[in-house]
A and B are shown apart, each in its own frame.
Chain A
Amino acid sequence: EDQVTQSPEALRLQEGESSSLNCSYTVSGLRGLFWYRQDPGKGPEFLFTLYSAGEEKEKERLKATLTKKESFLHITAPKPEDSATYLCAVEDDKLIFGTGTRLQVFP
């Protein structure tokens, strides 16, 4: 059965304290791995798509990497405005989401 597990569930960081979020997955046929950001009461906002192991993508303070079993979202020198829930999803014949990592960045 396709499955996506994200860790940690919650993460509190001081502004400027870099860290990584993990997304482990099992899927029969990976068509893509997606990272989204979701603010409270809002829909997910697209961040990255990764297709193959070894692929990396960057956007501002965020960098996503992919291996055959997991993906990492690295946050470098985070700011309070980076506080949100970060969702990972894999696509086989449909999108399967993890439960997310709730990130709080304090000034």
Chain B
Amino acid sequence: GAVVSQHPSRVICKSGTSVKIECRSLDFQATTMFWYRQFPKQSLMLMATSNEGSKATYEQGVEKDKFLINHASLTLSTLTVTSAHPEDSSFYICSAYLTRSTDTQYFGPGTRLTVL
């Protein structure tokens, strides 16, 4: 089946530093990837849609200057949390469509970010 990987799986950083999270599609090409955030016992919330070769589309209320998204190839999207603060601590999950003709998103294993 479709495999989406994320790296790192867990990261702890100091307040004010930047953190980069990678999302890779391992056995398929993904022109569109999605970034979600999930707080404890809450639902997944879409942050942004990442399109290969173009600018990401951010959901309302998500700061594009704080959450930088780059989708430089058909198998890699990155999310950089800039000047991280404790309130950015969360579980970040990416997803991708298997092919252009499907509307099923396959999710990565997630990245736990803790900002001290």
Chain A interface (Cβ within 8 Å of chain B)? 4, 31-32, 34, 36, 41-46, 49, 87, 89, 91, 94-95, 97-100
Chain B, residues 93-112, CB within 8 Å of chain A (1/0): the string is 10100000001111111101
CB within 8 A of B103: which of A43, A44, A91, A97? Answer: A91
Q: From residue A66, how far is it (CB to closest CB) to chain B in Å? A: 15
Known interface pairs A32-B103, A87-B44, A100-B43; 20 further A-B residue pairs with C-beta atoms within 8 A, sorted by A's residue number = A32-B104, A34-B104, A36-B107, A41-B91, A42-B109, A42-B110, A43-B93, A43-B95, A43-B107, A43-B108, A43-B110, A45-B107, A46-B107, A49-B104, A87-B43, A91-B103, A94-B49, A94-B59, A97-B44, A99-B43
Minimum CB–CB distance from B82 to chain A (whole Å) comes to 23
Given contacts A43-B93, A49-B104, contact A99 B110 (CB under 8 A): no
Residues from 6 to 26 in B contacting A, C-beta threshold 8 Å:
6
Q: Is the interface of B mostly helix, strand, loop or mixed?
A: strand
**Contacts A31-B103, A49-B103 hold; do A99 and B42 have CB atoms under 8 A apart?**
yes
Give the shortest distance, in Å, between A64 (CB) and chain B (any CB): 13
Of the four ranges (under 10, 10 to 19, 20 to 34, 35 or more), the interface on chain B belongs to 20 to 34
A residues near B95, Cβ cutoff 8 Å: 43
Interface of A, helix, strand, loop or mixed by DSSP: strand
B35 → A minimal CB distance (Å): 12
A-binding residues in B (CB < 8 A): 4, 6, 34, 41-46, 49, 59, 91, 93, 95, 103-110, 112
Q: How far is the CA of A8 from the CA of B109 in the complex (A)?
A: 25
A44 touches B46 (CB 8 A): no
| Assembled-state Cα–Cα distance A49/B98 (Å) | 14
